[in-house]
Amino acid sequence: MKKTVKVPTMAEMVANGETPDILFWVGCSGSFDERAQKITKAMVKILHSIKIKYAVLGTEESCTGDPARRAGNEFLFQMQALNNIQTLNNYGIKKIVTACPHCFNTLKNEYPELGGNYEVVHHTQLLQTLLNEGKLKVEGGTFKGKKITFHDPCYLGRGNGEYEAPRSVIEKLDGEFAEMKRSRQRGFCCGAGGAQMFKDAERGNKEVNVERTEEALGLKPDVIATGCPFCMTMMTDGVKHFNKETDVKVLDIAELIAQASDL
């Protein structure tokens, strides 16, 4: 029986006179979306297993403002950002890890101009480091004989040049890694970026996520790995579109490691 993990908040840690090594930025999807919550839980299991001191903001965390800025509402973005920066700076936060490339990009590249300067790490980068340092070990044959392909999130890959971390983590598994034709710098969007997640698609011949999922399914994978909650939604919907959900699983990198480590 798996035991319940108590996730500490920054307020609780400060009240106890403690300082976390990292702040886990959960993000809107990781907090409220039922599917993305599983990614959050996987990350918590991993963080807890390596006994690193971490905390979340809990109810003090608000949207980074990324969707507002992408949709053209600069005023709302700055309101959201400044509120978050005040909270983060009041706690003296230095290092942040997040499982959302949109939060990652905004916190890392757009908050500094408003006074928010932090070391921001995507969860695949943290997992790569932990595996390389031997602090996290992958055990068992969970993915033995399974073919895994990876969909590059736009804000992680082309937006921030990170292609190796997720692939390095997948290579630690005992499955077979298969690369899609459009990958890395030539990757193809899942269809959710630029605030498209929150609006109806423009007219066209095919939905973007259907196009991308079709490309992934062409490899006949057992698992489509993602590193973004938005990509998770779009690729999962794409797999359902082709009625392949019983044959192909869409899993986040953190979920792969949590399963392979039996956490």
What's 127-146 look like in SS3?
HHHHHHCCCCCCCCCCCCCC
Task: Assess if residue 3 is contained within a domain.
Answer: no
CATH number at residue 180: 3.40.50
Residue 248 lies in a domain: yes
Residue 1: what pLDDT? 47
Q: Identify the domain boundary among 61, 94, 128.
A: 128
Domain that holds residue 253: 138-260
154 and 217 part of one domain: yes
Cα distances from 81 to residues 66, 76, 120, 124, in angstroms, run 9, 8, 15, 24
Write out pLDDT tens, residues 233-252.
989 988 998 989 899 999 99
Residue 1 maps to a domain: no
Does residue 89 belong to any structural domain of this protein? Answer: yes
Do residues 122 and 49 share a domain?
Answer: yes
Cβ contacts of residue 154 below 8 Å, gap of 6+? 101, 187, 189, 190, 193
CATH code of residue 39: 3.40.50.1860
Which residues in 23-41 are b (16+ Cβ under 10 Å) and which e? Answer: bbbbbbbbeebeebebbbb
As a whole number of angstroms, the distance between CA 27 and CA 181 comes to 30
Q: Is residue 4 in some structural domain?
A: no
Residue 67's Cα: distance from chain center in Å?
A: 16
For 8-31, the pLDDT digits (tens) are: 999 999 999 999 999 999 999 999
Q: Where among 128, 153, 188 does a domain terminate?
A: 128
Instruction: Judge whether 256 lies within some domain.
Output: yes
Mean pLDDT along residues 44-64 = 93
Backbone dihedral angles phi then psi of residue 79, each to the nearest 5 degrees: -60, -50
Q: Is the dihedral of CA 57, 63, 69, 70 positive or negative?
A: positive
What would the mean pLDDT of 40-46 be, rounded to a whole number? 94
Q: Clarify whether residues 72 and 42 are in a common domain.
A: yes
Residues 148, 110, single domain; the answer is: no
Among residues 97, 128, 159, the one where a domain terminates is 128
Q: What is the mean pLDDT of residues 151-169?
A: 92
My answer on whether 160 and 85 are in the same domain is no
Q: Total domain count for the chain?
A: 2
pLDDT of residue 210: 83
Least confident of 49-63, 151-165, 194-208: 194-208
Q: Is the residue at 76 inside a domain?
A: yes
Question: Are 145 and 255 in the same domain?
Answer: yes
pLDDT above 70 coverage of the chain, percent: 94
Q: Are residues 144 and 124 in the same domain?
A: no
Residue 176 has what DSSP assignment? E
